[in-house]
Amino acid sequence: MNVSLLVLGSGTSQGVPAIGCRCETCRSADPRDTRLRPSVLISSGDAQLLIDTSSDFRQQMLRHGITRIDAVLFTHHHFDHIGGFDDLRQYNFLQRAPMNVYGLPDTLEEIRVTFRYAFGAAKQTGGGLPSAQLHEVAGGVPFAAGGLEVLPVPVMHGVLPILGYRVGNVAYVTDTNAIPERSYDMLQGLDVLVLDALRHHAHPTHYSLEEAVATAQRIGARRTLFTHIAHNIQHSRDSALLPENMEFSYDGQLVTSGEQQT
């Protein structure tokens, strides 16, 4: 099965450039240093699965002309990953159906609370409300979404249990600083791994670049792309620090399982 992954956003919760920052990366003219909030689109055949509705969701959809989403997979409930939830209503209009949404029970409950107007609390509809069918999933238990088999991979984001996702030989694992032993088994035999690598120095809830490289080496994917990149990392300058089969992702990057690295 050929699986493609489109990087919609490779940045952190504040994005890059950061507001008011004059660092070298935030002033960079390299488009790879302009990073929207983290999200990817996974495609195989006619199926399109979105991972996270980032705070920049609308901009990402317009930028790439995405007019259909078969399902949304949520990694966790932090706002940079769910902030665009309201704009799913446009896909309700286009597809004339509720959106199928998948996540851990705690993630779905936080979505219900944060967007409570979409789940029965609205006193009037105004321009419309997002409509979603919420489906609870459990780490390590495969499920079908949009006609594709999805494996949710348990990882830790500080003290918060969250999910990465694997579809075919492609896996997306963001916002993590620890992968449980049993999850390493779920990440074997990958063509493409997208992995959290926040910055050069340590962080309590994200992998540093050094930690991410060591984790990627243990997983052993044929190709690893780093994401959730802060403005401490500059694409061109710091790419020289990476092993041959690893790279920093960038907004708009498209990779496909089995393709050759360019």
Length of the chain: 262
Per-residue 3-state assignment (H helix, E strand, C coil) for 49-91: EEECCCCCHHHHHHHHCCCCCCEEECCCCCHHHHCCHHHHHHH
Alpha carbon 120 to its chain centroid, in Å, reads 28
Report DSSP state, residue 135: E
Domain ranges across the chain: 4-248
List 151's β-bridge partners, or say none.
166
pLDDT in single tens digits along all 262 residues of the chain: 899 999 999 999 999 999 999 999 999 999 999 999 999 999 999 999 999 999 999 999 999 999 999 999 999 999 999 999 999 999 999 999 999 999 999 999 999 999 999 998 888 877 789 999 999 999 999 999 999 999 999 999 999 999 999 999 999 999 999 999 999 999 999 999 999 999 999 999 999 999 999 999 999 999 999 999 999 999 999 999 999 999 999 999 999 997 655 4
For residue 187, give both structure tokens: 């990440």
Residues 6+ apart with CB under 8 A from 242: 213, 226, 248
Classify 4-248 by CATH class. alpha beta
Burial of 13 (0-12, 13-18, 19+ CB in 10 A): middle
Among 40, 108, 99, residue whose Cα is nearest residue 70? 99
